[in-house]
Copies of this chain bind each other. A is one copy, B any other.
């Protein structure tokens, strides 16, 4: 267990959980990955990753209430922990720092 860094998909999902707030559950994360990060993964991939993140203490989960509208199982809602937020910030800081030292990348932007 490394604990001082996370994988690439782990980072994206952590960010999306922050964005989705109360609506951060498996299928919604998968949809957001596609729409916000152009990343098409199966639902199994999402759940595998959130399980890993939870066992590392970066997120926690609780079962949501019964569905409002039509049928369906209850949602497992995820939220980020303090250490999850902390590792996201570290990851960002490292990259921002590197990017700033590379004029090449800053200039040639889309």
Contact assessment for B110 and A85 in the assembled complex, using a CB-CB cutoff below 8 Å: no
Q: How far is the CA of A50 from the CA of B8 in the complex (A)?
A: 17
Query: Number of residues in A with C-beta < 8 Å to the partner?
Result: 32
Q: Which of A23-31, A33-41, A54-62, A64-72 contacts B (4 or more CB under 8 A)?
A: A33-41
A15: chain B residues at CB < 8 Å are 95, 98-99, 102
The number of times this chain is found in the oligomer is 2
A105: chain B residues at CB < 8 Å are 18, 85, 88-89, 92
**Which listed residue, B8, B88, B94, B109, touches A89 by the CB 8 Å rule?**
B109
**Which listed residue, B18, B39, B95, B98, touches A104 by the CB 8 Å rule?**
B18
In the assembled complex, 12 residue pairs joining A and B whose CB atoms fall closer than 8 Å, in A order, are A4-B38, A5-B8, A5-B39, A8-B11, A12-B94, A15-B98, A18-B102, A18-B104, A18-B105, A36-B97, A37-B98, A92-B95
